[in-house]
Amino acid sequence: MPNPLFQLPLPLFILGAGVCGVFYLFIYDQVRPVSQKQLRHIPELRFEESNATDRYLRDTRSLLKIGYEKYLRHGTPFQMRNPIGEMGPQVFLPMKYLDEVKRAPKSLFSFDVFSEKAYLLNYSHGPRQTDAAVLVIKDDLNRNMGSMVNGLWAETEACLEENVSSEWKTVPAYLFICGVVARTVSYALVGPSLCRSPEWQRIVIEATYAVFGAAHAIRGQYTPRWRWLARWANSTQKQLKQIRSQAAELLRPIYNERRGAVLGGSNFGNPSDMFHDTVYWLLGRKQADRSLAGIVDQELFLSMASIHTTSGSLNSFLFDWMAHPEYHEDIKAEVRETLAKVQSSGGKWTLQHVALMRKLDSFIKESSRINPIGFITGQRYTLKSHTFKDGLCIPAGTTILFDADGVHHDPDNYTDPERFDGYRFLRLRDTIDPNRFHYASVSDTSLNFGAGHHACPGRFFNALVVKFFLIQLMTKYEVSFEDGNRQRPPDDFHDNNMRPDTSVKIQIRKLD
Q: List residues forming the annotated binding site.
A: 456
Residue 399 · residue 382 · CB < 8 Å: yes
Contacts of 349 (CB under 8 A, 6+ apart): 149, 150, 153, 342
Nearest to 218 by CA among 205, 231, 204: 231
* Of 232, 202, 201, 200, residue with least CA distance to 218: 232
Q: How far is CA 141 from the centre of its chain?
A: 17
CA distances from 224 to 1, 114, 147, 152, 379 (A): 14, 16, 48, 45, 22
Cα-trace Rg, the chain = 24
Nearest CA to 467 among 207, 158, 233, 156? Answer: 156
Q: Determine phi and psi for 383, rounding to 5 degrees.
A: -90, -25
The alpha carbon of 30 is separated from its chain's Cα centroid by a whole number of angstroms, namely: 30
Report d(CA 275, CA 279) in Å as an integer: 9
Residue 36 near residue 468 (C-beta atoms within 8 A): no
The string of DSSP codes covering 381-437 is EESS-EE-TTS-EE-TT-EEEEEHHHHHT-TTTSSSTTS--TTHHHHHHHHT-TTSS
Which residues does 105 contact at the CB level (< 8 Å), separation at least 6? none
The binding site for heme consists of 456
In sequence order, the 6+-apart residues with CB closer than 8 A to the CB of 180 are: 156, 159, 160, 163, 469
Quick check: helix, strand or coil at residue 34?
A: coil
Q: How far apart are CA 139 and CA 297, in angstroms?
A: 20
Residue 306 burial by Cβ neighbours in a 10 Å radius (0-12, 13-18, 19+)? buried
What is the C-alpha to C-alpha distance for residues 406 and 385, in angstroms, rounded to an integer?
Answer: 27
CB 320 within 8 A of CB 367: yes
Alpha-carbon distance of 376 to 388, in angstroms, equals 21
Contact between 448 and 374 under an 8 Å Cβ cutoff? The reply is yes
